[in-house]
Chain A
Amino acid sequence: MSSDTIKTYTLTRRGWLVGASSVALGLAGAFPAHAEDTIKVGILHSLSGTMAISETTLKDVMLMLIAEQNKKGGVLGKKLEPVVVDPASNWPLFAEKARELISQDKVAVVFGCWTSVSRKSVLPVFKELDSILFYPVQFEGEEGERNVFYTGAAPNQQAIPAVDYLMSADGGSVKRWVLEGTDYVYPRTTNKILEAYLKQKGVADEDIMINYTPFGFSDWQTEVSKIKAFGSAGKKTAVVSTVNGDANVPFYKELGNQGIKATDIPVVAFSVGEEELAGLDTKPLVGHLAAWNYFESIKTPANAAFIKEWHEFIKNPKRTTNDPMEAHYIGFNMWVKAVEKAKTVNADKVIAALPGIKQPNLTGGVSEMLPNHYITKPVFIGEIRADGQFDVVWKTKSLVPGQAWSPYLPGSKDLVADWVKLNCGNYNTVTKTCGGT
Chain B
Amino acid sequence: MEQRETEVDVVVVGGGSAGSTAAIRAQKELPVGRVLLLEKAHVKRSGAIAIGMDGLNNAVIPGHATPEQYVKEITMANDGIVNQRAVLAYAERSFDMIQQLDRWGVKFQKTQAGDFDVKKVHHNGSYVLPMPEGYDLKKILTRTIRRAGVRVSNRVMATRLLTAADGSIAGVVGLNVRDGGLEIIRARTVILCCGASGRLGLPASGYLYGTYENPANAGDGYSLAYHAGAELTGIECFQINPLIKDFNGPACAYVTGPLGGHTVNARGHRFIESDYWSGQMMMEFYRELHSENGPVYLKLTHLAPETITEIERVLHRTERPSRGRFHAGRGHTYGEDLVEMHISEIGLCSGHSGSGVWVNERGETTVPGLYAAGDMACVPHNYLLGAMTYGEICAESALAYLGEGRAGQGGEAPSRDGIDEQFEAERARLTAPLERPRGIPHHQFEYKVRRMVNDYLQPPKTATRLRLGLAHFERALEELDEVGATSSHELMRVAEAGFIRDCAEMAARASLFRTESRWGLYHHRLDHPELDDDNWLVHVNLRKSASATMEVFKRPLVPYVVTLDESERRSYYRIRIPPATAATGASTPDAVVSSGAAS
**A associates with B:** no
